[in-house]
Structure 1
Amino acid sequence: MDSIELRIKKAIIDRLFLEISPEEIDSDAPLFKEGLGLDSIDALEVIIALTKEFGVTMTDEDMPALQSVNTIKQFLLSRVPELTTGGN
């Protein structure tokens, strides 16, 4: 697991007060319904967590990025240039 994935997982766990470790989250597994079983309220909390951790804002059009940790990672890499250059 790379550092970006770990940061995403920790941000989700911390914001949602989940009692699991980052290693227990499959980066390809869906975050909603099956997978972690998150709901629409959790989606708002995930967005807040990503904003705090990475300084990124999300619009309604960006919501498909919340499918999994890997889709969030790809979204972040496209929006936060420092992540691709090792600045964060």
Structure 2
Amino acid sequence: MENLDELKKEIKETIISTLQLEDITPENIVDSEPLFGEGLGLDSIDALELGVGLKKKFGVKFSSESADNKKHFASVDALAEYISQTRG
């Protein structure tokens, strides 16, 4: 089982590289802050791209029909939890 802090850092780096957020560093992204809306301010197009980026990096799938996606993409904390559980 990998270190959750390390996983969160990798997730942040994936968010930044996938979405080409040039002015943001992993340190700028707060683990518990919302990724969408007032937090990082991502939108639904970003969510699609990020889903693809996370799948490539971590081998996890997000179903486009799944109501859980909103929960998984809520924050870096939520993504880390989902990825660590999925990868076991």
Offset of 1:77 from its aligned partner?
1.2
Structure 1 equivalent of residue 83 of structure 2: 76
Higher relative contact order, chain-length normalized (CA < 8 Å, sep 6+): 2
TM-score calculated relative to the size of structure 2:
0.87
More helix by share: 1
Q: The residue matched to 2:67 in structure 1 has which SS?
A: helix
Query: What is the alpha-carbon distance in structure 1 between the residues aligned to residue 68 and residue 44 of structure 2?
Result: 14
Gaps of 5+ in 1: 82-88
- Kindly provide the CA deviation profile for residues 10-40 of structure 1, in whole angstroms up to 9, marking residues without a partner as x: 0000000002100000000000011110000
Gaps of 5+ in 2: none
Offset of 1:5 from its aligned partner?
0.4
- Kindly provide the CA deviation profile for residues 13-69 of structure 1, in whole angstroms up to 9, marking residues without a partner as x: 000000210000000000001111000000001101110110111112330200000
Structure 2 equivalent of residue 61 of structure 1: 67
**Pair 1:36 & 2:40 matched:** yes
CA RMSD of superposed structures (Å): 1.2
Count of aligned positions: 81
Identity over aligned pairs, percent: 43
> Which 4+ stretches in 1 moved above 3 angstroms?
none
